[in-house]
Structure 1
Amino acid sequence: MIKLLIVDDEQIEREGMQAILEKTYPEHVIAQAKNGKIAIQMAKDFQPDVIFMDIKMPGMNGLEAVEQISAENPNIKFIMVTAYDTFDYMRHAIKLGVKDYLLKPSKASEIVVTVGKVLKQIEEERKSLAMNRLQQDALQKTLSLVETDVVTQLLFDHVHEVHVDMLVEMLDIQSTSEMFVMLVLLPTGSEHLYSSVKEKVRQTKSGWVGALYGKQLPIIVFRQTDKSFRSQAINLARDILSLANPEQGAGGFIGIGDVCHSLDSIRQSYQDALVATMDTTLHTKYRFYSEMPVLGDARNQQLVHHQKKEFSDQIRLGHWDYIRMNVLNTLQVYENEGTDLLQTQQRMLEVLWIVSRVMSEMGVETMSPLYSYKAQDYRQLRSETAQMLDRMRQSYVSHYEKLESDTIQQIKQYIIDHSHEDISLDALAKKVELSPIYISKMFKEKLGVNYIDFLTECRIEKAKKLMNDPEKSIKEITFEVGYHDPNYFSKVFKKMVAVSPNKYRKTLLGI
């Protein structure tokens, strides 16, 4: 629906213009104003799309009214109506953005043609605006997926088809020289809060939200120069926690890792945040890793060594002999240093919680690592720590033995059937309820190729079959097998088959 406003101090002119417009455009809404001041007010209330403005009116003339209305609403289109066909008037009107003009008296046909041109322009602008909105919506959805993918690659060392550096360039949040990880543990039954948390972080324009693994939601937060690290983290933590219960700020728990200085080292902050979630009974419902009770530098050196060696990656890869040896070696270091037994027990619990959290991310169910009682001596502490590690190892082995027998065939078949689609490793992982890291590892061990290589082989094999059809162009085949760029497809095809697609087709068809 289009709204038209006729502004003229002569009623007979207004009525005549309205009659012509109503006859030609009966579906549009038409209003009148008898002078410039009234027109200014009606522009605010009526919000017309087009205004027919007489130039010569008592009090405020038409050009003055156009200038004021345009300042408030630059989208309104103006058609000047005047008996004065002078260059000065027209020059001034053009400067004000007037779209056209009509000379009094005007024929009905002239009015219809002039109005038709302006209405067509409005229609085109509206279509363009609607298309831009659709494109913006599509872009936002794409960027949301990119953001999740970036966090996944950075924190969990997943390998995807598009390298993380390329994905980071697509995001609108510029990373700074300092960053840290917040790990949100959502309360049971509140997984629906994921989108709310993501929107809350998006409003700050300073963070990337990862995928929800079980009840764990990692967030990479970039330091804001106008706030201290603590105030920024606390404000965001409180905002997120308030989503579960706005009145009490209750529900969930957040661990906050230490600041690091590059995305390459962000996994260290993630591990810090993981340890900070060990005790979720705190009244504040959030905890900084720096607030965890610490031991002296010398005594704590072995644990720091574990973290620098990416201890969590060893868990994901199932290197249990390495895990057991290093955990018990750490305990031995504390004993040799004469560390207080209770402090050592807490440190061991921190390490065991890292193991438990990482296993949970991978979908492996295991008992929460809790000591049954306060250890009486180091021998007892060592024995119970070893027993918990053995139980975790058994949970890991049982989980994958149960799944591995038919899962590899299920994954292969799914990739073969859907190779023409954009299959991400994360999407595949959700399909078979396994961790992306494990799928990648299983492909390499069981099939001798990685996930991307297998997907590429499926696509190229399908392309070779499609080339039997001479009616299909290389471009059509490119899109049909799952690629978006014919040049990139040609490069991949030549790398796999040793000849270009065109040459392969000629040989195949005997051309």
Structure 2
Amino acid sequence: MYRVMLADDEGIVIDSMKFIIEKEFGGACQVEFAKTGRKVIELAESFRPDIAVIDIHMPGINGIDAIKEMKNFCTNTVFIVMSAYDKFDYAKEAIKLGVLEYITKPMEKMKVINVLKKAMAQIDSEREKRSNELMIKEKLETVEPIIENGLIYDILLQEHFEEDIESYRSILGIEENYGYMMAIVCGDSQEGNHMTNAIGSSVKISGKYQEIREGVKSFFNCKIGNVMANKIAVLIPLENDSLEYNDRTELIYRAREMAKYLRKKTDISFRVGIGGVKPLRQLSDSYKEALNALIDTTGSVAHADDLTISCNYEEDYPKALEKPLFEAVTKGDLNGTRAIADKYSDWMCQRANDGDLMSMRLKVLEFALYAEHLAYQNGGMTYHYSSRNNYLPEIMGLNTTDELKKWFIDKIENACRDIISKKEEHSNDIMKTAKDYIDNNFEKDISLDNVSRVVNVSPYYFSKIFKEENGLNFIEYLTNVRIEKAKKLLENPNLSIKEICASCGYTDPNYFSRSFKKNVGVTPTEYKEAFTVSGR
């Protein structure tokens, strides 16, 4: 259905247009008309036409001015201008207003029909576009909570790769590099620093999750996780690396209002803990701070920065380098470890050059010991109680910043290398065991699951490291082993193709022949005949 408005002060023109429209388009159009500029605007406000055919010369407000006024509230209307005068100024003004056509009177029937069809086609296109946009929006509203929960899950459990976080940021439109976490905790009521009936309340908020989600988003521009026990984790992205006092005060006020709103909407009591501002990849720390803030206070809303539960650092201390340094060590990222350790040691050298060499000695020792602690934890190494007895004498014997820097970087890098070597050693052991098993059992019906069970790692992890170590996936490697064995057996004139097929782990001779040709370039028969003819 198309709503068509006709605007002309001549009744005969309106009657003619109505006749043409009804004759050509039948019930597809609903037609209304007006004969003055003022009536056109009033009718348009109530009728909201899809198509408006307007004469320029009408009593009172002219057609051009009427269109200008209608443009304020009829944003999707297609305008067609008509006039008995073919004047360039009118046409130019109409073009500026974005009208579809400027046609002159008297109008031919086919001209009117063609122009209306063109307008209808434009309306159909816009309607389809709006429909598609609504459908996409509807799908996003279904998918977005899942994506938001995936981001928060990865951040809190730290089970992510760098590219995962970047993908989440891109999909969710997060441009900020910082943020803070809120922990929304529910219960029947608050007793001291905890909520009663946590288990029962978790069931309740699961049933009212959508209402809670909409309520939280009405107070904060945020990303929301699913219900975990009686808690919901909320991420609020932030452009800056800290909150000013006034901003923090406003944040706490909004959180209090949100808790009251949610209580009213769900008949469940809520407390809100708020963590400090962190880089996005360190927001798990902010969430821990949010939970600790609720433990350390009995208020309905608690901000970590208001409580004495966090360590403050002197102004120029490179706090931002600490966690990335030890993360790089733990991951076995030698280049990252070296780069961050170099930056951190430069800062220590600068402070030591100002006369504080002893503090550098202590910090170098502290970080070296912690890096080695991570190596013991993550590298599967054997700890020896007395293995570092010489560290303190060595440190005290270093009297220049360059010597301390070198000692520091060497120790940090060695810890990282220990993790790398142990991982490689573990991986090599897995590969050797796997290859030995394949070489000794290739004639059997073995699978990835069989071999992963033998090496005692999950099929997913085994498949991943097998491809990384060998450049081939498991099936490709097994096929190569079988084909190489088949080539050797084909050199024996006393063995049939069928016998060779069975000896190499193939139950179907046709499949064996296809696989052999794909990998060698000829069929087993052709290979056998070529070997016999050559007399090798």
* TM-score, scaled to structure 2: 0.52
- What's the counterpart of residue 99 of structure 1? 100
**SS of alignment partner, residue 149 of structure 2:** helix
The separation in 1 between residues aligned to 2:77 and 2:141, in whole angstroms, is: 29
- What's the counterpart of residue 373 of structure 1? none
- What's the counterpart of residue 242 of structure 1? 261
How many residues align structurally? 326
- What's the counterpart of residue 127 of structure 1? 128
Would the alpha carbon gap of residues 45 and 285 (structure 1) be closer, same or farther in structure 2, given more than 3 Å must change? same
Q: Check conservation: 2:466, 2:474, Cα contact below 8 A.
A: no
Would the alpha carbon gap of residues 241 and 47 (structure 1) be closer, same or farther in structure 2, given more than 3 Å must change? same
Q: Deviations over 1:134-170 (max 9, x none)?
A: 2333345444333222211111112379521332233
The separation in 2 between residues aligned to 1:121 and 1:10, in whole angstroms, is: 28
- What's the counterpart of residue 269 of structure 2? 251
Would the alpha carbon gap of residues 250 and 167 (structure 1) be closer, same or farther in structure 2, given more than 3 Å must change? closer
Q: Deviations over 1:314-345 (max 9, x none)?
A: xxxxxxxxxxxxxxxxxxxxxxxxxxxxxxxx
The separation in 2 between residues aligned to 1:21 and 1:80, in whole angstroms, is: 16
The separation in 2 between residues aligned to 1:62 and 1:287, in whole angstroms, is: 62
- What's the counterpart of residue 16 of structure 2? 16
Alignment of 1:144-293 (within 5 A): 144-159=145-160, 163-177=164-178, 179-187=179-187, 188=201, 189-204=204-219, 206-223=221-238, 227-246=246-265, 251-257=269-275, 259-278=276-295, 282=298, 284-289=299-304
Matched residue type, 2:122: Q
The separation in 2 between residues aligned to 1:76 and 1:206, in whole angstroms, is: 34
Matched residue type, 1:453: K
Q: Check conservation: 1:147, 1:171, Cα contact below 8 A.
A: yes
Q: Check conservation: 1:180, 1:221, Cα contact below 8 A.
A: yes
- What's the counterpart of residue 409 of structure 1? none
The separation in 1 between residues aligned to 2:150 and 2:123, in whole angstroms, is: 40
Matched residue type, 1:251: S
The Cα shift of 1:445 comes to 6.5
The separation in 2 between residues aligned to 1:65 and 1:267, in whole angstroms, is: 59
**SS of alignment partner, residue 278 of structure 2:** coil
Q: Deviations over 1:95-132 (max 9, x none)?
A: 22111133322232221111111111111111122112
* TM-score, scaled to structure 1: 0.55
The separation in 2 between residues aligned to 1:7 and 1:263, in whole angstroms, is: 59
Matched residue type, 1:123: D
Q: Check conservation: 2:186, 2:268, Cα contact below 8 A.
A: no
- What's the counterpart of residue 108 of structure 1? 109
Would the alpha carbon gap of residues 145 and 18 (structure 1) be closer, same or farther in structure 2, given more than 3 Å must change? same
Q: How many percent of aligned residue pairs carry the same amino acid?
A: 23
**SS of alignment partner, residue 26 of structure 2:** coil
Alignment of 1:496-507 (within 5 A): 506-507=518-519
Matched, 1:56 2:57: yes
**SS of alignment partner, residue 168 of structure 1:** helix
Q: Check conservation: 2:222, 2:236, Cα contact below 8 A.
A: yes
Would the alpha carbon gap of residues 161 and 119 (structure 1) be closer, same or farther in structure 2, given more than 3 Å must change? same
Q: Deviations over 1:441-490 (max 9, x none)?
A: x9x96427539839999xx78999xxxxxxxxxxxxxxxxxxxxxxxxxx
Matched residue type, 2:458: L
Structural RMSD (CA)? 4.1
Q: Deviations over 1:286-331 (max 9, x none)?
A: 333456676999xxxxxxxxxx99xxxxxxxxxxxxxxxxxxxxxx
Would the alpha carbon gap of residues 96 and 242 (structure 1) be closer, same or farther in structure 2, given more than 3 Å must change? closer
**SS of alignment partner, residue 190 of structure 1:** helix
**SS of alignment partner, residue 158 of structure 1:** coil
Matched residue type, 1:276: A
Would the alpha carbon gap of residues 233 and 90 (structure 1) be closer, same or farther in structure 2, given more than 3 Å must change? same
- What's the counterpart of residue 394 of structure 2? none
Q: Deviations over 1:219-258 (max 9, x none)?
A: 12245868522431341343145223249x851322233x
**SS of alignment partner, residue 287 of structure 1:** strand
**SS of alignment partner, residue 242 of structure 1:** helix
The Cα shift of 1:69 comes to 1.5
Would the alpha carbon gap of residues 462 and 295 (structure 1) be closer, same or farther in structure 2, given more than 3 Å must change? closer
- What's the counterpart of residue 450 of structure 1? 461
The separation in 1 between residues aligned to 2:229 and 2:466, in whole angstroms, is: 27
**SS of alignment partner, residue 233 of structure 2:** strand
Matched residue type, 1:200: G
The separation in 2 between residues aligned to 1:124 and 1:505, in whole angstroms, is: 54
The separation in 1 between residues aligned to 2:109 and 2:43, in whole angstroms, is: 25
Q: Check conservation: 2:216, 2:258, Cα contact below 8 A.
A: no
- What's the counterpart of residue 45 of structure 1? 46
